[in-house]
Amino acid sequence: MLTVDFSRFPLAPGDRVLDLGCGAGRHAFECYRRGARVVALDRNGEEIREVAKWFAAMEEAGEAPAGATATAMEGDALALPFPDESFDVVIISEVMEHIPDDKGVLAEMVRVLKPGGRIAITVPRYGPEKVCWALSDAYHEVEGGHIRIYKADELLAKIREAGLQPYGTHHAHALHAPYWWLKCAFGVDNDKALPVRAYHKLLVWDIMKKPLATRLAEQALNPLIGKSFVAYATKPKLPRAAAA
């Protein structure tokens, strides 16, 4: 299940991509399939080991084009272990709401991004997220949980403040918002509640089968209750005189 829309965020074969806070690796895997040279970085060593196993399995199965590469590594988003201007593309999906120093993370992403490079940032959307917080303290009052809710204008202002130029936004995963409302209502750790189990089965069926009806329904509902807010931005190229 991808949050970044690669029709709005195109990759070229050979692009060097950083998936920052990669989690289980969903965006890193897609970039690898598209021929990129991918670095998937996360602070969670267990998840990184799983991502590395999947990269190896994808290579063995021939799922990535010739020239594509993939590396999984542990690292700190506030102290990235890369030189300046190392990447053509940076993706950070559902991460910034967890980090107290979000401006520091933005600064590090801008540092390692090449001039003319592109960044995709996704965070939980303000409205659906407020419902989750209202329904359940356990949803956000946990170690490593969500510490803030972004309004779209606030996030875009921080992106501009970091020196990036936003060029597009959209919402995603409308069908997932009611699932999380149910989880919060019945208990975030209570997977046995019938409404939660039933809705989860619906989501799994939708992800696996991708039926036209639910695709159209989600497309129509995304502007209203899309669970994620997605922003795309570029790092301006330096004028030739400044670069010299």
What was the pLDDT predicted at 104? Answer: 97
Is pLDDT of 241 > 80?
Answer: no
Is pLDDT of 69 > 80?
Answer: yes
State the average pLDDT for the chain: 95
Q: 234: pLDDT confidence band, cut at 50, 70 and 90?
A: very high
Classify 109 as helix, strand or coil.
helix
What was the pLDDT predicted at 142? Answer: 80
- Tell me what the mean pLDDT of segment 79-89 comes to: 98
Picking from 82, 4, 2, 10, the residue whose alpha carbon sits closest to that of residue 39 is 82
Q: 18 and 91 in contact (C-beta within 8 Å)?
A: yes
Is pLDDT of 244 > 50?
Answer: no
Is pLDDT of 33 > 80?
Answer: yes
Q: How far does CA 17 lie from the centroid of its chain?
A: 13
- Tell me what the mean pLDDT of segment 14-43 comes to: 97
- Tell me what the mean pLDDT of segment 135-145 comes to: 86
Is pLDDT of 65 > 90?
Answer: yes
Q: Who has greater pLDDT, 85 or 241?
A: 85
Please name the helix (run of DSSP H) or strand (run of DSSP E) that holds residue 230, with its range, or none. Answer: strand 228-234
pLDDT digits (tens, 9 = 90+) for 85-111: 999 999 999 999 999 999 999 999 999
pLDDT digits (tens, 9 = 90+) for 150-196: 999 999 999 999 999 999 999 999 999 999 999 999 999 999 999 99
Q: 239: pLDDT confidence band, cut at 50, 70 and 90?
A: low
Please, what is the Cα angle at 109 between 104 and 110, to 5 degrees?
95
- Tell me what the mean pLDDT of segment 201-219 comes to: 95
Is pLDDT of 115 > 50?
Answer: yes
Q: What is the DSSP letter of 237?
A: P
How many Å apart are CA 9 and CA 119, to the nearest integer?
9
Strand pairing class (87-93; 37-42) = unpaired
How many Å apart are CA 173 and CA 189, to the nearest integer?
21
**Beta-sheet strands, E only, within 125-187:** 165-172
How many Å apart are CA 238 and CA 244, to the nearest integer?
9
Q: 145: pLDDT confidence band, cut at 50, 70 and 90?
A: confident
How many Å apart are CA 64 and CA 68, to the nearest integer?
6
